[in-house]
Structure 1
């Protein structure tokens, strides 16, 4: 008898009774998990406006608006009142992004603009829903069914693109998606799947229509393929193939003329001159748009108009922010201006001050002469749907208050292909005429112009999309003639949040270590490179010029010098230059005192670099001898900013610490603080940066350091702290740490201390300079002075518990009380007393070096500025654009 068989039933019953509760709980958990998983899939499918599976936005495609908790289901959304807005909106605005934008916009005009567009979109009357392409489609007709075809897992019938709609698939929706992405064929399969492809399905794969028998999840009345069976449709467009550029033109063809459209920003005047020198020839045209906010650059370049008949500056100027719709408006306006002019040209090429040629002008003209009538743009080179999402093309943006506000999602018009990539283009005159003079009956172009006026980075997609969908599609060449120095790990640091509700990427500056990329352009149809900034690195520009035009002679003057304007007295003064004028005036007074002359007027502040090393900035000013009848003197003094730092002598960490400094405007892309002059005032956003030198011994034991950075104000109070973790490395590592300080900062001498558990590793004293100006005007009232220079607030909360080990680094209460009284007194100073206070502080953190005179004076034995290599008045032939006239 088998004992196991007789005993097993009773044992099983007892076992089941014992663990029944456990099994019931386990089944409930599994059921709940399955239900939540199903609901999450539904949410993903239904929330995606483009019909794709939603993807979590990465760091280069995330909204910059403050994070807010998700509303609980069923709770009413917040609504904005007329009292909050300052006007009565046309509708009850519901889009949460629009509500956020309206809450953050500063001016009433901007809020009204946002509200008007938001209401128009909400009413469904803003964007076109369907457009018709005029690019020849051959024999293709939209939504024509080709039948049911067999698909294979390892060899897809339509292998261009795939998406699963989860709960809303249909043939028409799949066709729309594939057409938008540029595919001639669309296929639906297994109810929910959508495939796109370029190639006609082979007849050998044809199946009976009955093999496609699964209902569409988006429309149960339609069939969406079967199990490895696909219903295939035409999208209505032909397979797009970009034109191949010709390399030589027929004998006897006339050479093209180019309109170089320079769109400029910043203060790098000498680099603009240098670019013009490299591009200049009398038969070409140079049309220059300078950002509306850049008075200095506009004023200086305007001088070229009287000397060159083919150089003109745009009179209608725009304030162009990164990614702004105004960038496209500006380009179109400048192109209209070129068409209206009497100049003869065949191509327009847009460039910035950061571009530089990698081939001679003759080679560029030869190339374009062989490709007359074609249009050179660069596509994104990836899946169109991913490009749409990363670029934010499925969102509406509104530009006002020098900001791009994201106000909601949008559905792009059906019936057109979407394309884009780079905003640097070379366009034919006929195409420029087409896009700048839209006919009233051209619904396609009119709708696209409206669409891209409310698009982030519109110039990166507008010209591409128009080319792909109009009769000009046969002129599209996938090459914008540029090589761009992309280093996305560094360039995609979300650095534009202050001007856009989105994150974006920018290319890096070329440096000598990137030379191989420039050399690689020699055998390619590439004629420009970007970006170049001589204030970051000039050596690579010199190397490039010598590669193109031959080596510089040894006698070449100031070959390794670079100057860039920081301040000019002719600029329109405002709050933006209060700090530069306050410190500049002080340095002028200190220099004049040293030279025993009377200071009269600060004229210019100029950065000076030699061999890519910052040598300080130059203070140019007007002064006079004691004799009232004496002639005015024009002098220039070189200044070196200094910060008073100490490093622990015996600490292993401190021995490898380099470039320990406090500044502002830290550029994560270039890993450098752009405030070279170290001008910091009460409204500055401070950042500490340092380099931790890599160890040369890869076999030595690795160390890590947990450190604290203390920020102490002039009263010896703790204002902020940062926790830092530093790991040993074999390569140099550049780190930075930002503060969250309450502004205005207390003027005076601040201290940054880098401490460990028991010791100080580094200490740095730096200056927060008092202001002598407010909004461009000298301070003339005590209230105004206290508003700028009386900041005595604390950044840390009152209930912050100070660690005991930190207290030794702070002043005691008696010292703080005494220093507070002194700071309160200083904050009320005006006139000469204010200037004396500023001079006393500035003299400790800025060293006066050499001086020079613009005109020789027998009683003031100084060298002439024109003969002084560091002076901004010294010859600089590499940027002497007027040499072209000789």
Structure 2
């Protein structure tokens, strides 16, 4: 680092020894008590800061933590209308649950995260709640010890403040964290705008933004009357990841320094090689790391916390792995699993017509409309003619941690005039052709195109592969270990038979699993795209993916003028790749002219003609698996509904339906004797 007395000189270094002392005693965090206490008197505010659409997991978390003597203060990101609408009913059901009236649009590492936390703390202090600790949690957290154990522990350590420090040499932490840089949050981005000097005489500390804080310390912060706090608030308003340092720094430099415990009660699933790939570059001018989701193979990490002062773990996502959450429940003493229907099933909302942003989800609506038309044609062969109505909801469906497809809930009128709601289950088809004459074909484990690729979890979060002209396709490839060297070539072919992009894959042991994002501008040409994998001129594998034409644009039926702009593609921006002509992949001249003629004709389609084109494409890429019905007039839930020769099962007794019972994913009923929520 630069010498404080002469910035032209450099001092310090990795092996440098301390050759002087300041006279100050070395800071030693407090060691919490471990003796058993009667935890009944402890009162906790669980500050839930929620994002995403994992509603059923939020309910599962509340079911596990709820006691009538504790409080839940819930902040839902301003952009998450779905969660806010669904959870708002909890305020009416439970006097100890409140939703934040002021909502922030937070971003990873943003200054808004700290503002949100401080504003929430001020709110529940103003509510007059009497409490002993506030613990902030997200929808990705879950307890790994019983609530009674947490209560006993906190009861024995009232007044202490639990935070997790970085454990590094301070100057290294400052550099790594970017604390010596000035940042400004603007338009959902943290912009790095220059260097800065941190104030002298202040001990900088930080590590994790998950904390357990005492009421005295929180009140001290919220009142903010001290010069120390006024100054730190200015500094941290322009700091990257401020919530990871603010509470630590205030603790170390205030009268509460002797309440500092270097433990935030959490265990985090860090896999640095996967989580530290600068995946947040699009929202911050800095590289950051993020923990991975716990999966069943990480079970030993949970078991190893048994005798440690750790009470929560993160991250958990049932859309990635739900079995680990069920195991954790058993681990902490939950014993009702044998009574729960659909224990291994999981549903997560993709679309809801009541969401504020629903009308602009053009790709999903265009795709879903085609699926239910396809289903109506299948039903018509059974003499069941239905009139299709509004699409209400779309859910992703998994069972035993295997993706089973999507579910579309929509209104309909049967041919007998009965108004009903139908749920249609469908699943994407996989398109992979392998050349078994190639010597390397056995090494290919995955060769697939999707979107919303998560580098950290190595999956496509767009499970159904629903892509439109403004999607960003990504090719995921996985090879088994092999010693052959040399490069492989990837070719992207658009629906008109034009070569859109070329990529090179280097074959080595460090590149067995990776992804490729092609350099193709929006809008993508609608239709069937092909991606070929070549070893020199030998075709090894071909996969296909669908770019669905849009029936809707900005929530309205697409017009003649809009069709010309949206569906014309961006072929003029393709790179000049005319010299690459692998046999049996890039069409010959005559076939190419025919494909272009068909493509030019398709992109002009409108109205029923457009819908017919969309339907033809979707039939090739998606299969209908079943339908169920929700008839409000039919009081017998187990009674089938006849339409022509087709017998609809009621959705309430159809295991795959999002309307079937899911006790683990709904808020239980309050047991007035125990103060707990009973799921069954």
Flag whether TM exceeds 0.5 (same fold): yes
Q: Determine helix, strand or coil for the equivalent of 1:765.
A: strand
Between the aligned partners of 2:421 and 2:410, the Cα distance in structure 1 is 6
Looking at both structures, which has the greater relative contact order when contacts are Cα pairs under 8 Å and sequence separation is at least 6?
2
Matched, 1:542 2:326: yes
Corresponding residue of 1:475: 259
Residues 678 and 165 (structure 1 numbering): CA distance in 2 closer, same or farther, change over 3 Å?
farther
Matched, 1:818 2:607: no
Matched, 1:565 2:343: no
Q: Determine helix, strand or coil for the equivalent of 1:234.
A: coil
Q: Determine helix, strand or coil for the equivalent of 1:379.
A: coil
Between the aligned partners of 1:844 and 1:402, the Cα distance in structure 2 is 39
Corresponding residue of 2:579: 802
Residues 797 and 693 (structure 1 numbering): CA distance in 2 closer, same or farther, change over 3 Å?
closer
Residues 857 and 262 (structure 1 numbering): CA distance in 2 closer, same or farther, change over 3 Å?
same
Q: Select which of 836, 839, 842 maps to 2:618.
A: 842
Q: Select which of 758, 762, 776 maps to 2:555.
A: 776
Matched, 1:373 2:163: no
Corresponding residue of 1:734: 513
Between the aligned partners of 2:40 and 2:480, the Cα distance in structure 1 is 58
CA contact (8 A) 2:532 2:539 kept: yes
Corresponding residue of 2:233: 449
| Alpha-carbon displacement from aligned partner over 1:226-274 (angstroms, at most 9, x marks no partner) | xxxx6x4636x442111111123667x8621000000011100111111
Matched, 1:830 2:606: yes
Corresponding residue of 2:367: 583
| Alpha-carbon displacement from aligned partner over 1:665-693 (angstroms, at most 9, x marks no partner) | 22111111211010111111111113323
CA contact (8 A) 1:853 1:864 kept: yes
| Alpha-carbon displacement from aligned partner over 1:196-216 (angstroms, at most 9, x marks no partner) | 85xxxxxxxxxxxxxxxxxxx
Please say which of residues 457-466 and 849-858 is displaced more in the overlay.
849-858
Residues 744 and 854 (structure 1 numbering): CA distance in 2 closer, same or farther, change over 3 Å?
same
| Alpha-carbon displacement from aligned partner over 1:16-45 (angstroms, at most 9, x marks no partner) | xxxxxxxxxxxxxxxxxxxxxxxxxxxxxx
Matched, 1:51 2:13: no
> Which protein has the larger Cα radius of gyration, Structure 1 or Structure 2?
1
Residues 544 and 851 (structure 1 numbering): CA distance in 2 closer, same or farther, change over 3 Å?
same
| Alpha-carbon displacement from aligned partner over 1:173-203 (angstroms, at most 9, x marks no partner) | x9xxxxxxxxxxxxx9xxx999785xxxxxx
State the Cα distance separating 1:626 from its structure 2 match: 3.5
Matched, 1:623 2:412: yes
Matched, 1:723 2:504: yes
State the Cα distance separating 1:725 from its structure 2 match: 2.5
Matched, 1:167 2:8: yes
State the Cα distance separating 1:310 from its structure 2 match: 1.2
Q: Select which of 487, 490, 515 maps to 1:709.
A: 490
Matched, 1:294 2:80: yes
Between the aligned partners of 2:286 and 2:358, the Cα distance in structure 1 is 29
Q: Select which of 12, 22, 25 maps to 1:234.
A: 22
| Alpha-carbon displacement from aligned partner over 1:725-761 (angstroms, at most 9, x marks no partner) | 33479xx943322211121110000001111123211
Long gaps (5+) in structure 2: 380-384, 632-639, 672-677
Q: Determine helix, strand or coil for the equivalent of 2:514.
A: strand
Q: Select which of 319, 330, 333 maps to 2:119.
A: 333
| Alpha-carbon displacement from aligned partner over 1:739-785 (angstroms, at most 9, x marks no partner) | 11121110000001111123211111110111122233332x22222
Q: What's the Cα RMSD here?
A: 2.4
CA contact (8 A) 2:37 2:152 kept: no
Matched positions, count? 657
Q: Determine helix, strand or coil for the equivalent of 1:549.
A: coil
Corresponding residue of 2:174: 388
Residues 728 and 498 (structure 1 numbering): CA distance in 2 closer, same or farther, change over 3 Å?
closer
Corresponding residue of 1:344: 130
Q: Select which of 251, 258, 262 maps to 2:44.
A: 258
State the Cα distance separating 1:866 from its structure 2 match: 1.2
CA contact (8 A) 1:656 1:692 kept: yes
CA contact (8 A) 2:212 2:264 kept: yes
Corresponding residue of 2:470: 683
In the TM superposition, 1:36-47 aligns within 5 A as none
Q: Determine helix, strand or coil for the equivalent of 2:302.
A: helix
Using the size of structure 2 for normalisation, the TM-score is 0.92
Matched, 1:495 2:272: no
State the Cα distance separating 1:822 from its structure 2 match: 3.2
Corresponding residue of 2:388: 599
In the TM superposition, 1:632-711 aligns within 5 A as 632-694=419-481, 702-711=483-492
State the Cα distance separating 1:650 from its structure 2 match: 3.3
Q: Determine helix, strand or coil for the equivalent of 1:349.
A: strand
Q: Determine helix, strand or coil for the equivalent of 1:858.
A: strand
| Alpha-carbon displacement from aligned partner over 1:574-604 (angstroms, at most 9, x marks no partner) | 6862211111121122222322311111111
Residues 593 and 573 (structure 1 numbering): CA distance in 2 closer, same or farther, change over 3 Å?
farther
Between the aligned partners of 2:74 and 2:190, the Cα distance in structure 1 is 24
Between the aligned partners of 1:294 and 1:719, the Cα distance in structure 2 is 36
Q: Determine helix, strand or coil for the equivalent of 1:433.
A: helix
Residues 807 and 656 (structure 1 numbering): CA distance in 2 closer, same or farther, change over 3 Å?
closer
Residues 285 and 196 (structure 1 numbering): CA distance in 2 closer, same or farther, change over 3 Å?
farther
CA contact (8 A) 1:749 1:766 kept: yes
Between the aligned partners of 2:606 and 2:126, the Cα distance in structure 1 is 54
Between the aligned partners of 1:879 and 1:249, the Cα distance in structure 2 is 33
Residues 532 and 661 (structure 1 numbering): CA distance in 2 closer, same or farther, change over 3 Å?
same
Between the aligned partners of 2:271 and 2:526, the Cα distance in structure 1 is 39
Q: Select which of 385, 390, 400 maps to 1:611.
A: 400
Q: Select which of 528, 544, 547 maps to 1:749.
A: 528
Between the aligned partners of 2:293 and 2:102, the Cα distance in structure 1 is 30
Using the size of structure 1 for normalisation, the TM-score is 0.71
Q: Determine helix, strand or coil for the equivalent of 2:648.
A: coil
Corresponding residue of 1:208: none
Corresponding residue of 1:529: 313
CA contact (8 A) 1:405 1:500 kept: yes
Between the aligned partners of 2:178 and 2:359, the Cα distance in structure 1 is 34
Corresponding residue of 1:513: 297
CA contact (8 A) 1:719 1:794 kept: no
Residues 196 and 477 (structure 1 numbering): CA distance in 2 closer, same or farther, change over 3 Å?
farther
Long gaps (5+) in structure 1: 1-49, 53-162, 175-187, 198-229, 696-701
State the Cα distance separating 1:658 from its structure 2 match: 2.3
Between the aligned partners of 1:358 and 1:550, the Cα distance in structure 2 is 11
State the Cα distance separating 1:610 from its structure 2 match: 0.8
Between the aligned partners of 1:615 and 1:193, the Cα distance in structure 2 is 52
Between the aligned partners of 2:337 and 2:101, the Cα distance in structure 1 is 40
Please say which of residues 789-798 and 641-650 is displaced more in the overlay.
789-798
State the Cα distance separating 1:342 from its structure 2 match: 3.1
